[in-house]
Amino acid sequence: MKYRLADLAARIGAELQGDADCEVDSVAQLQDATAGSISFLANSQYLKHLASTRAAAVILSPELAVQAPGNVLVSTNPYLCYAKAAALLHPQAAFTPGRHPSAVIDQSARIAGDAWIGPCSVIEAEVEIEGGVFIGPGCVVGRGCRIGLGSRLVARVTLCSGTRIGERTLIHPGAVLGSDGFGLANDEGRWIKVPQLGGVVIGNDVEIGANTTIDCGTIRDTIIADGVKLDNQIQIAHNVEIGENSAIAGCAGIAGSTKVGRNCTLGGGVGLAGHLEIGDNVHFSGQSLVTRSFDKPGYYSGNLPAVANGEWRKTVARIRRLDDIMQRLKAVERRLKALDSQPQKGD
């Protein structure tokens, strides 16, 4: 796609400073941009490339706009404007509705006429697929699944029976939704499988990364609310609930029956124990180990190498007492300093 800078600025909510009729047709990094490209700068680490960039225009904050040698699209959130510009200049490829001859589709499935069912995909009985849905190659949509308007299964996605997908949801290759949760009961040393009878419910405008797994509920459903963004290789266990617009980075894991609030973020490799309550606007940095509930908004971090459980509990108890110990130590140091400053007998 090609846009005049004036039109592009209006579409992405930026203020244009420069040639309104200049045209761009791609996005690029500052150091790689060409005459038809638009770039952005949100990190001062790359400021050194601004003066020499060949980009037709650069998206900048008001503070940096004065340093730009050419056309500028000014925004208080350059990265957001870049995302909007990239979506406009590089739109998702359109597809032709239909069914590939190699697809296996049960006669009872209800599929909208403008959906696409790709090569070697399997659509089982009583499935409902609404308008504009794209089912890529090698996908399996289990019995009774529902997929909402405009959603996209890129390739090799598995939806186990009864999974429900909202509208405009994007699911990347290898994701598995609705697999059995890890429910086992111990019978004198033998593990007995607990039937997993719930489902998975995915909201609207959700994105699920490659090879991410979301287990079905034991009795009630596992729920991923509207606007949630999940990175690659994440494990979501049975009965987990994730609130609206939360985002979780790769290799994170959430154990069963934990609830994560709205607008939360989990960095890469974060682990949440089971049966926790995480409030709204709670943020955990990468590799944090979360073993208790957090109800207050804020930024949290913490992780230690694994040790024997009893030793770990003692360590945590001591960590929680560190501030008190430090205060007492400072008091002792002050007393020792005072004693050292007193004249000694015989002086």
Q: What are phi and psi of 153, to 5 degrees?
A: -105, 110
Q: Please name the amino acid found at residue 164.
A: R
| Number of Cα atoms under 13 Å in the Cβ half of residue 193 | 5
Give the helix/strand (H/E) hosting 222.
strand 222-224
Helix (H, G, I), strand (E, B) or coil at 299: strand
Q: What are phi and psi of 309, to 5 degrees?
A: -55, -45
- Strands 222-224 and 146-147 come out as unpaired
Q: Please name the amino acid found at residue 67.
A: Q
What positions carry a catalytic annotation?
238
Q: How far apart are CA 132 and CA 208, in angstroms?
A: 18
Write down the residue that tokens 């308008």 correspond to.
131
Q: How far apart are CA 158 and CA 124, in angstroms?
A: 12
What is the b/e burial string over 73-86, where b = at least 16 CB atoms within 10 angstroms of the residue's CB?
bbbeebebbbebbe
Q: How far apart are CA 313 and CA 329, in angstroms?
A: 23
Q: How far apart are CA 97 and CA 79, in angstroms?
A: 34
The answer for residues whose C-beta is within 8 angstroms of residue 113's C-beta and 6 or more apart is: 97, 131
Task: Specify burial of residue 320 (Cβ count, 10 A radius: 0-12, 13-18, 19+).
Answer: exposed
